[in-house]
Structure 1
């Protein structure tokens, strides 16, 4: 027990000594860490030898001062060690809280002669030995928080580690620099010349480095680039460097503020720029050949496409070598005159690419603008980032205006335009027009509110003295025109257009999702109100007019579910970041809304257009009847030959069948099926009965062929009455029908079939010619001289083009004019790219494809 207790006491004294020494040792360690951090951070590199000596000396004296108390540090005695053992035992085991280490040192003072005392003492010593055997020396506890309550030791460690990373591979050299007390040699010429070329941002070209390491350097850079030459040095070497630019460089203010830094800036403006740099080390020359910035180009693609509500689409192509900055449509009056409002400047959408290979389209809404309906000079203007401007060839045109069905509303809109665009010349005329409308109220203004409004407008116009007064009268006329034309629908339409404009502007500036969602909901509410009021207005129309519109095929419309689907697709496109798709859907929605009333206007087209459509339908019916006659003639002729050859015991001849099958048109099978029973009945009879039946059948077919020919003659006559030219195809069809008619009377079925085939071909060519004539007549009416206030292509638009309200051809329309649906044409660039990438990945995952093909697909995916 005594030996174990001695070992425990020695360990306890060592632990106590460490607890007393560690706070003093940590002061020295912290001082060493502070010295290392200062060295690694480059303190000694910034001071001279004298300061380095002073710094090292200061750190050395401080180290001695903090470690000197270690020499006077006393080792704990045996009593303190026993007390430490007792504290550790009590903290570890509550059963040993009576001080077993100190108890093991006790001596029996009296009672050595008493056996009971000796027995009790032996028991005490045995228990003390057991307790000593269970004793352990705890770890040293220097109580550093008491000596360093602010934990500065952690800050020193973090600082030292961070400075070590700053020094990197130079950590040894930086510590050694503290003990380098030599003076540096006298400095010689020390300067550096750097140069670079910054192209303009709109070129998207990277900067070019000017090395000036060789006697001559040649570079190519865009015009208007900036050349920067920077000379840095601490002596006269920088001042001795001379820069000599030529005329292709224009000097700009350089950077100032530092005596050891010289910076020269030049703008490259000429086709060739030369800069000579003369230094004490030699002469360097820089030559820059400029890449010119070509001016932009823009041109119109076709005439403006007018929609049913007076808005129009502008299609154009623009190009620039570096990209376009802005595009707009410029409206100029034909004659310089004072106006109350300036001509509109139309902001145009930029093309999807600046190469000029694809068309750009902008929907323009000038229906509320006073200049709508005026004859102006119109041109397109485009600017690039450099400020260069290009203008398309100006054209004279009538700005499309909102169409008014009510004559009074149309008159008020025209007078408003005259008053706003030419107040000096038109004021008297407008006053006269308003007074004339008040002459016969029961004829022109049967409604009291309209009569009072016109009287108020006339009185205000007569008393107007300023431009503001004239503008107020013009706005009153416009409001009256809208109320007369649409009633309460004008307010709903205005709210709808405002909601469209707000959503379109938010999409263009890539607004947050919450704002897009709120504006989409506002547009949906405005759209519901607009459709509801339009439906109520259509419900008030006479039933006869609605039936006439339905017969003309003009009552087709889009469902509210379709519009809701478009709004949902637009919101989804914005969520996934496809701004181009969202803008495309927005433009498509605006086009649909602009064309919703085309059916209503189309039902009131001119009688000539309705008669032309009727003739086209009649010609189509005649073609079907001619096909049925041809099928019937071919079938009866085949049955007759089969019966005759069956009587002779020979196989039926197929003469004439090949030609009939080659000329067979779609729908022939149904005609043959209708005539099949007739041929079967002929084969079951006798030869004489067959010949008699065939003769009667041919006579019936011949009579119907004659009636069909006469109908064709009447159709051609009515075409000429409508101002259409005679079609060669119809004349050929009529002649072929005569030949077929004669062949049927003579029983020559094969010749009749051939003639009827030529008649079908002539009817087809005639229909195509009639379609082209109708289209040319519609375009001629739109491009010819229009009444003032009527936009080109407005009259007869719904009648001449058999389209639905969405601008799509109806089922009965011939697609020979090229207006067909191209698959994927409405697809955005992002969707098309995503679809192509998915297809490439699908093919790449097919292990059955050749290895060369898989490698090719993989290269395509890497490039994208």
Structure 2
């Protein structure tokens, strides 16, 4: 009985594996027998979902449906004959065959001999129990339709793919349109023939499709090129289409009663559906106007000889592309010297016009900026034509603009001569003999013209090569000679400035990459030293360049930011400090700021290299302003630390803490000069006192503008700054940090006003005396780039920021309102300390 009970339990576990295996047999035999049927149905349904019936003649649709029905019936009949219903015994045999030793067959067996022998009976029972144990691992057998041999062309996969595409891109509602194509259906629905029509404008217009059945007005305006689709239902011949909008020549056998008619609107005219329930429209075809483009300004020369051309383009539906074609204006060329002979043919220069990345391209203004300083047309008269295209393939062209193509300017006489010989060589290869002779004459006495020994040696080698290749000069060799003449001219013009700039750029890139990748401190230290050396070399080359070319265009904007070499070194020191402290994100930002400053760097050189009147005093005032800014930042940090300390004490409870809380309040005992001690042991009040003494030490007579209105305003501003510093010192000694911050802000504002007034006075004096900017200052911002690396306008005399708007237009007022709203919100937060809320309320009173 134990054996029977155990085996019965094991057989009970086979219930679900047997059921699943039995179901798999059904699925397997159904798939084998009826895969042609569901393949036919899937293909037919996919075609209907995609709307194939809407593009075929009615007869073709019903013929196709009839064939599909016959094919479905045939495959269904064949499948029914092939299908053989599986039995439960087959499921048992399949499951048994999937297990080792066929345990189910063993359990169904009976002992044939030895039933009376106890030993034989025990062996038999042990065998049955071992087979029953194998039933514990029984798993349902997966069905195997084996359709690949039956479907060698994988038609079932084609049908499934088509059905999936139809479900994604088609519409289920299109299947119902087949019922409307039944004979007599249209008459049953509307009591007679019916029709449907659509007008689809070109996609680039962005206009929606029109359903003609809903348009009752007699006039219809649509873009030219719109596609018309008409469908006539009912008895053939009851409705007919009459149109004069397509402009097509209809053949004599044209059938105006065809159930499906498609054509394009190319002209204005009449469109009508004649017959019961018909309608008529007067169609106005709106022509697609061609695009237009005009030069909205003059061609100008930008930095390093780059060309800038502002233009305006417009189109009724949007410009899709544009280009500028630059051709040589031979009639306007001064045909002298190397330009006397006819030029060699050259292709026109074609430049792609910049288009707005976002927004509407129906009308926009952009600037074409391109560097053509090395092109043979540079500094020669050219004609520029602007062309733009629209989606319809139409092209608009501007009037030819006759200008001199901007190029890089060379101030050194030898460099200018090399560039002229390069121009003649690119004009015509026959000029090579003349160019070599002129270069020999120029280099006859090199000590008079040539200061760069490397450039002189390269030029001598190039002259020998040009002389050797003069007899059979190829275009490739000519272009190589022109490229070398350009490089030598740059060496002569800029000395080693270009190599120094490249070295500085490489040092910046390497250090920036090391910062972002988390390099070792030793590697960063080496790269920092390399950057310092490269910066020193670059600044030295800048100074030498200013001495070599005193007539070169220099920055004369006194309102631009000046930065001395010491200040740049201070930035490097701050960068190294940030990296040593592990503040890599801030170091990366400072590195990017330094990169932007170096890109805008110039040198201004005065007479004799001596500072002009008031230069040293102005620099002293700049140092005082910078130190006052640092002290104000430290004072604000001290106020924040006091607030954090108060919050920590409040969390410890109120018992026995009264005296300590009083000591921690601003103005409490033990405050005084012990606040904010720095590394040098000085308190905030002592540092403020030293700054006040430093301001008093500035000699008023050394400042510019003696007796002028601007100079007197500057001196009054310094007096206000001194008084504000004295009040700030007193507030720091009393422990009133918020009051000290207000007085320090007043002192900094007065210092800025004084620097601005003295700068105006200095500018007036230099204008009257006709002097150039005196002294040597590194880092004057280029007048064409009056913004700092953060995009803000540069301040006066070394200020960070300016009184000018950071934003332009209405955005200024929006930003100001946002700031005032934020101040009001913070002033109303009760969780903030009273000192901070009082400070915010005073800000609201000021503004």
Q: TM-score range with shorter-chain normalisation?
A: 0.3 to 0.5
TM-score (norm 1): 0.44
Larger Rg belongs to: 1
